[in-house]
Structure 1
Amino acid sequence: MEIRKLFESDPELMLLFRIIAELNLQDCWLAAGTLRNYVWNILTNRSGLEEASDLDVVFYDPRISYDETLSLQADLNRRYPAYQWEVKNQVYMHSHNPNTQPYQSATDAIAKYPERCTAIAARLNEQGHLDLFLPYGTADIEQFIVQPTPHFAADPARMKVYRDRMAKKDWTSKWPQLRVEGIA
């Protein structure tokens, strides 16, 4: 599967990329579960974007406060109420993962997400072309494999977060073909 072509072929998804690009946020991407679930849904003959799915917008800008980030999110939810916007400045997000140093960029944060299949991001570049960030490639997403990123696998406290997350998310109830690794 060519993920770039898949994303580019969806007018609604491309509209979302344009909305995000117009925010003019530094190092800004549509990421994580939004895109992972989109691919899994397409592979299982479902609609790519689901009404219940969050739109995970991540960016990195030390000049924007946590409160300003919340205001950006509220503004998006007001202007585009058909979507559930989740806007996260990665400057502040390392504190959610045990024993994690501050991130240096949005892509640094994405590469350190709990699961390799969740470490996916895309954005429109200045020329209007789609950039992808896939630090672990596409095999895990395409083969329905869930496994921890090296960052999570390297630390017992982070692995506990990963295992708790897997139990809470229960993705196999929606995608029974998933093979979840690292939970035993």
Structure 2
Amino acid sequence: MSLHERFALDILANRHNREILARWERLALPDGWLVAGCLFQTVWNLQAGRPPESDIKDYDLFYFDASDLSASAEERVQAHVEEVLGDLGVEVEATNQARVHLWYEEHFGRPYERPLRSSREGIERFLVPATCVGVRPGDLYAPYGLELLYDGILAMNPLVPHRELFDRKAASYRARWPALRIAGGD
């Protein structure tokens, strides 16, 4: 079994991931992807012998719509997402990657390099390359591969070289999954 096949099976062990993907067409998100924590945390939970959904705070959806960069447009998409997925009983957040550059600095205290051109570019810019994953029915995007994820290696993403943000994120991950290792560290 390839790592891609294993990943597909692992993320579907999480019933919420499975249900979100089953309702994908109803979401109708332009350039839409299910991304990040709900995927890599499911894998790490399984590796640690924990239930697949354990301690997953939210389920993130990326989409890309440059036709309306307003917060109100993103709120309308969020309302639609809640209408489609609200019965799951988990928090699902939809983020328009076309407008990240408008709020990133205020939220994270660091300037954003430039506006993104796709949801894939947003996936490429998570702080930790092992966590840069996105899926949608029939498609996987893992720009740095899946080896770091499965090996539990936390490294800083050169596209987002924010050491203090990385250190906080890595410490948070290691508190929940102690087997994870910092690249070049312990």
TM-score after normalising by structure 1:
0.81
Structure 2 Cα separation of the partners of residues 165 and 12 of structure 1: 23
Structure 1 Cα separation of the partners of residues 139 and 8 of structure 2: 8
Asked if 1:35 is matched to 2:35, the reply is no
Structure 1 Cα separation of the partners of residues 126 and 113 of structure 2: 11
Asked if 1:103 is matched to 2:113, the reply is no
Question: Match of 1:63, as an amino acid?
Answer: S
Question: Match of 2:157, as an amino acid?
Answer: T
Asked if 1:85 is matched to 2:92, the reply is yes
Q: 1:147 aligns with which of 137, 151, 155?
A: 155
Q: 1:24 aligns with which of 18, 22, 28?
A: 28
Instruction: Choose 97-106 or 6-15, whichever is displaced more.
Output: 6-15
Structure 1 Cα separation of the partners of residues 55 and 127 of structure 2: 24
Question: Match of 1:4, as an amino acid?
Answer: A
Asked if 1:180 is matched to 2:182, the reply is yes
The corresponding residue for 2:173 is 171
Structure 1 Cα separation of the partners of residues 176 and 25 of structure 2: 31
Question: Match of 2:87, as an amino acid?
Answer: Y
Which runs of no fewer than 5 residues in structure 1 stay unpaired? Answer: 125-129
Asked if 1:135 is matched to 2:173, the reply is no
- Give yes or no for contact 2:14–2:53 (8 Å, CA) kept in 1: no
CA shift for structure 1 position 149? 1.6
- Give yes or no for contact 2:27–2:81 (8 Å, CA) kept in 1: no
Structure 2 Cα separation of the partners of residues 76 and 92 of structure 1: 18
Aligned residue pair count: 173
CA shift for structure 1 position 18? 2.4
- Partner SS for 1:92: helix
Question: Match of 2:92, as an amino acid?
Answer: W
- Give yes or no for contact 1:21–1:123 (8 Å, CA) kept in 2: no
- Partner SS for 1:136: coil
What is the aligned-residue identity percentage? Answer: 24
- Partner SS for 2:60: strand
In structure 2, the CA distance between the partners of 1:62 and 1:99, relative to structure 1 (3 Å rule), is: closer
Q: 2:136 aligns with which of 115, 123, 141?
A: 123
- Partner SS for 2:61: strand
- Partner SS for 1:177: coil
In structure 2, the CA distance between the partners of 1:113 and 1:182, relative to structure 1 (3 Å rule), is: farther
Structure with the higher helix share, 1 or 2: 2
- Partner SS for 1:26: coil
- Give yes or no for contact 2:154–2:170 (8 Å, CA) kept in 1: no
Please give the root-mean-square deviation of Cα atoms over the aligned residues, in Å: 2.5
Q: 1:68 aligns with which of 53, 68, 73?
A: 73
CA shift for structure 1 position 140? 1.1
In structure 2, the CA distance between the partners of 1:178 and 1:9, relative to structure 1 (3 Å rule), is: closer
